[in-house]
């Protein structure tokens, strides 16, 4: 935005006249004030791009006026003038938020240089503002995280609540449910917009390299360390670090993450200097951290420091109503990305996609749609384009419970063998428990008209345990 209107405040009439003449000659609109009080009233009533204030004025001096400007209009750039060239005045002016500081007497060339500098700063600020808005629009929740199921609406509300603060967030959900997308939405809708978002997958990096990736290293710290290396925490300074799959992090590194949370500083490998970092931590896991804490595989103190605000992403099979919208979203995006003529899903194809269990969740659905767009020459995508997808076994309506469990486990093993999903230790046990436990708890809650005390009594568990399971399993509470 171009510089157009300037306020000059000085108790010396000659100074006001000289500056007004020089600035008007360059095409600026100039308002004049003979003391601090008049300047304050003008600032309240008008919009200025720049204010040039004398430090010594009757009524309100320039420094006190600067404080009031910061309260009223924080985006107004202020240049302080003074006839006393003391370090104290200069330091004080800059501490209080002055854009620049000049000493009388000065040549008009100095004012020209300041005007040019201010104009350039405003131009850069405008570019940054546009970039921030572009990034914010790009990562708006409603544009990038698709779904209108009750579970997803809760996710949207939580993102909106936590984005404005710096609280630590723990995102839990199966692989492929979109945990990084939620982490990015938290960052790009926060006050850290425009600052770094740094993601690191704790499960994808070998243990001996993970520490240097996170905290950096000094030259010669280990074999092959030929130069100083900045870690992810330093790279994310003033921004957000996303620690994906934190459940796989070794215990000794967990202790160091806890220290970062507590002290807000890191130490590079081989170094002895504590480096301050201002970083928001968003962590994610596809594992049951509570169980890992119980088995002493995850630090309890770190778990509670991370789990300040939990966000649970339910599997796609538990929000089937979102599948048609997701499929359409991925279809349009895939066609655009690959410069393919628009395609459409037939009703039968949508029915098939909605009936499939999606062990790989949203990521598998996206890749399935993309593959169909690439391979099909027809503008209509039919069930034929999604061969291999079979409706999910229903638990426990079809056949005996044993048969349903067998189908469910068989599906899990098949998806593991074809590389759709990694099969972890205890994965099947946790999955089956969740499949049985969630509908059971929901059924009892419905029968007790959502009275948690009665439901806990019927289930034979403590009320606090029930509340914890409701949160972990993503059960939406209703009120009759």
pLDDT higher than threshold 90 for residue 179: yes
Q: Calculate what percentage of the chain has a pLDDT beyond 90.
A: 39
| Cβ-count burial 241-274 (b if 16+ within 10 Å, e if not) | bbbbbbbbbeeebbebbbebbeeeebbbbbbeee
Q: Is the pLDDT of residue 243 over 90?
A: yes
- The answer to whether residue 295 scores a pLDDT higher than 80 is yes
Residue 422: pLDDT above 60? no
The 3-state DSSP class for residue 242 equals: strand
Q: Is the pLDDT of residue 413 over 80?
A: no
Lowest-confidence pick of 135-144, 184-193, 238-247, 437-446: 135-144
Residue 454 predicted with pLDDT over 80: yes
Q: How does pLDDT run across 63-119, given as a tens digit for each residue?
A: 899 999 888 888 888 998 887 756 667 777 887 888 888 888 888 888 888 888 888
144-314 and 424-480: same fold? no
- pLDDT of 11 above 50: yes
> Cα–Cα distances in Å, from 304 out to 249, 250, 290?
16, 17, 10
Domain 5-134 has CATH 3.40.50.2300: yes
pLDDT > 80? residue 397: no
Whole-angstrom Cα distance, residue 476 to residue 424? Answer: 28
Res 236 pLDDT > 90: yes
Top CATH class of 144-314 equals alpha beta
Q: Where are the domains of the chain?
A: 5-134, 144-314, 320-392, 424-480
Q: Tell me: the pLDDT tens digits for 108-162?
A: 888 888 888 888 877 776 666 656 555 555 555 445 688 888 888 888 888 888 8
Query: Percent of the chain, pLDDT > 70?
Result: 83
Is the pLDDT confidence value at 304 over 90? yes
Compute how many other C-beta atoms are within 10 angstroms of the C-beta atom of residue 362.
Answer: 25
What is the model's pLDDT at position 307?
92
Half-sphere exposure of 432 (CA within 13 A, CB side): 17
Instruction: Decide which of 1.10.8.60, 1.10.10.10, 3.40.50.720, 3.90.226.10 is the CATH code for 320-392.
Output: 1.10.8.60
Which one has a higher pLDDT value, 298 or 84?
298
Residues whose CB falls within 8 Å of the CB of residue 418, separated by 6 or more in sequence, listed in order: none
Q: In terms of pTM, does the model score above 0.75?
A: no
What does pLDDT average to over the chain?
83
Is the predicted pLDDT of residue 312 greater than 50, yes or no? yes
Least confidently predicted of 23-37, 334-348, 358-372, 420-434: 420-434
pLDDT at 191: 86
Two tokens, residue 192: 């850290």
Q: What is the pLDDT of residue 98?
A: 86
What is the spatial distance between Cα 102 and Cα 81, in angstroms, rounded to a whole number? 5
Region 358-377 average pLDDT: 93
Instruction: Write out the H or E segment, with its range, that includes residue 324.
Output: helix 323-337
Q: Do the Cβ atoms of 284 and 313 come closer than 8 Å? A: no
Is the pLDDT confidence value at 398 over 60? no
CATH number of 424-480: 1.10.10.60
Report the pLDDT value the prediction gives residue 126, as an integer from 0 to 100. Answer: 65
Supply φ then ψ for residue 197, to 5 degrees: -115, 110
Stretch 173-178: mean pLDDT: 92
């Amino acid at each position: 935005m171009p510089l157009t209107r300037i306020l000059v405040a000085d108790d010396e009439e000659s100074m006001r006249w000289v500056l007004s003449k020089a600035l008007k000659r360059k095409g600026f609109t100039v308002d004049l004030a003979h003391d601090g009080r008049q300047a304050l009233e003008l600032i309240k009533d008008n919009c200025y791009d720049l204010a040039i204030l004398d430090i010594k004025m009757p009524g309100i001096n320039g420094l006190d006026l600067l404080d009031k400007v910061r309260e009223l209009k924080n985006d107004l750039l202020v240049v302080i003038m003074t006839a006393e060239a003391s370090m104290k005045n200069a330091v004080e002016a800059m501490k209080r938020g002055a854009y620049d500081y000049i000493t009388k007497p000065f040549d008009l060339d100095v004012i020209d240089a300041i005007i040019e500098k201010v104009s350039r700063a405003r131009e850069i600020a405008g570019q940054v503002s546009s970039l921030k808005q572009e990034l914010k629009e790009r990562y708006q929740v409603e544009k990038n995280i698709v779904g209108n199921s009750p579970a997803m609406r809760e996710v949207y509300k939580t993102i909106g609540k936590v984005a404005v603060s710096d609280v630590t967030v723990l995102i839990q959900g199966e692989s492929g449910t979109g945990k990084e997308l939620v982490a990015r939405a938290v960052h790009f809708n926060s006050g850290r917009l425009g600052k770094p978002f740094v993601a690191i997958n704790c499960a994808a990096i070998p243990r001996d390299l993970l520490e240097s990736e996170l905290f950096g290293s000094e030259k010669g710290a280990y074999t092959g360390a030929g130069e100083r290396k900045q870690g992810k925490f330093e790279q994310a300074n003033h921004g957000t670090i996303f620690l994906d799959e934190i459940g796989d992090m070794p215990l000794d590194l967990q202790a160091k993450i806890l220290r970062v949370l507590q002290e807000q500083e890191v130490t590079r490998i081989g170094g002895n200097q504590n480096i301050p970092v201002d970083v928001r931590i968003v962590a994610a896991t596809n594992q049951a951290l509570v169980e890992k804490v119980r088995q002493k595989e995850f630090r309890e103190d770190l778990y509670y420091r991370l789990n300040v605000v939990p966000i649970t992403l339910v599997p796609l099979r538990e929000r089937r109503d979102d599948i048609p919208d997701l499929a359409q979203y991925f279809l349009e995006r895939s066609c655009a990305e690959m410069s393919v003529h628009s395609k459409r899903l037939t009703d039968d194809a949508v029915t098939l996609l909605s009936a499939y269990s999606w062990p790989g969740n949203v990521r598998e659905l996206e890749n399935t749609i993309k593959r169909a767009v690439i391979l099909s020459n027809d503008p209509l995508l039919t069930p034929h384009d999604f061969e291999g997808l079979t409706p999910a076994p229903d638990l426990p309506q079809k056949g005996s419970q044993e048969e349903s469990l067998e189908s469910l486990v068989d599906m899990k093993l098949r998806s593991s063998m074809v590389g759709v999903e990694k099969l972890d230790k205890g994965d099947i046990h946790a999955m089956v428990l969740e499949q049985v436990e969630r509908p059971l708890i929901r059924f009892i809650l419905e029968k007790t008209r959502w009275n948690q005390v009665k439901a806990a009594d019927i289930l034979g568990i403590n009320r606090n345990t029930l509340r914890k399971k409701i949160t972990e399993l993503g059960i939406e509470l209703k009120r009759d």
